[in-house]
Amino acid sequence: MLAATKRISFGAAVMALAVGLAGCSGAQGAKEETSKGSQAAKQAHGAPGAVRLIGDGSTAFTGAQPQLGKPQRLKPGQQPPQFVVFSWDGAGEDSQQLFSYFREVSKKYGAKMTYFLSGVYLLPEEKAKQYDPPQHTIGTSDIGFNDTKGIKDTLREVRAAWREGNEIGTHFNGHFCGKNGGVGTWSVDEWKSEINQAKSFVKGWKTNSGLQDEAPLPFDYDKELIGARTPCLEGQKNAMRAGKAMGFRYDSSGIGNQVWPKKKEGLWDIPLQLVPVPGREFETLSMDYNFMYNQSGESSGDESQHTYWGNQMRDGLLQAFDRAHKGNRAPLIIGNHFESWNGGTYMRAIEETIETVCPQKDVQCVTFRQLVDWLDAQDPATLEKLRGLGVGEAPKGGWDAYTRAAPPLNSASPATSASPAVAAKH
């Protein structure tokens, strides 16, 4: 089983940057039987031209990812779509079965999501010494490792998620936070080591786990992996520099406002965002952990407040959606964990948010990969104009002044500078 994480301890780090910064009933995950996995594995070995195994057969090239769609450049005067990205940190399937549950939710409401997989979730406890974390003892991890059932269940969900058009990013490995060897103190080279190890655990789970009869993951992870979110949102600068050198295209470890993204360190910088907390006079980050931290300060607060706290998060996210949707149309970025904090109330809040926003006809609930594909397809001058719109600010005189005739799609899009840092709020 996945070890209990220490994520509850990283509030202080996030709060220092911006103060104010589950159990769902039932699990509808796809049941991929062992026999089907064995058949798929055999087919992968014996179907020339259909599947190309990579390395030890843990991954395989199976062709282009299904259900991605093709990005479209805005036409002159066209209003941008309202993009919403739902993303999950440390994605793994454990006894709560929330990965499988939200896969079904996403299909029900036509959403695509990004799952930031922690590499150690595919590494068994008995092989812990395969992990050499920067500034820490070999074989240690603040979120533990996994067992055979947890690895098989997580593999099942990752396979299915990718085939359904979702993205598999990385949350790296050991989730080390704070001053004593935390990711915020790591050098570029240490980040490169961490990325390489995260990739190696995904690319070599068969060797590490001995699960030779399991079907391969249906993608080449060296090509699939294009973005990340760091543990505790720490160490972004050096993590981005390492990621850029290793082929990443975006990072979502920052803190920002609901405005159009820019590039930083050569990557799209797509931060979590400050959103309203209804009934309170500050905003918090668009993540379940940050609502929980501000409401109860612990994962098991007053049960009589659970429903209220979930409603407060849902309504805050919906207010953030409305001000973007009616205003600057900046993508709304939401982050979550597969956790049952405060009785699972935040899982309910997220599901109700998905249910409300994703079916709307001019809304696209997409992955980070789909979002950066769209951003890269746009005229840079148009994006620069969109960045001039403040939080909730609608374009004066309509969209004609913001989206205009542009050069062909293959025109180069220069990197842009980063947004100013968000000031601390007290």
Q: What is the pLDDT along the chain (426 residues), one digit of tens a residue?
A: 454 443 333 443 344 333 343 333 333 333 344 444 444 444 444 344 579 999 999 999 999 999 988 999 999 889 999 999 999 999 999 999 999 999 999 999 999 999 999 999 999 999 999 999 999 999 999 999 999 999 999 999 999 999 999 999 999 999 999 988 999 999 999 999 999 999 999 999 999 999 999 999 999 999 999 999 999 999 999 999 999 999 999 999 999 999 999 999 999 999 999 999 999 999 999 999 999 999 999 999 999 999 999 999 999 999 999 999 999 999 999 999 999 999 999 999 999 999 999 999 999 999 999 999 999 999 999 999 999 999 999 998 888 877 764 445 444 433 333 322 222 222
CATH number of 7-24+62-401: 3.20.20.370
Amino acid 2: pLDDT: 52
User: pTM for this structure?
Assistant: 0.85
Interatomic CA distance for residues 134 and 141, integer angstroms: 11
- Two tokens at 355? 């249910």
The confidence score (pLDDT) of residue 400 equals 84
DSSP β-ladder status, 250-251 and 167-170: unpaired
How many Cα neighbours within 13 Å face the side chain of 386?
28
* pLDDT for residue 401: 77
Residue with tokens 């299909």: 107
d(CA 171, CA 88): 9
pLDDT given at position 416: 32
- CA 389 to chain CA mean position, Å: 25
State the pLDDT at residue 330: 98
pLDDT at 327: 97
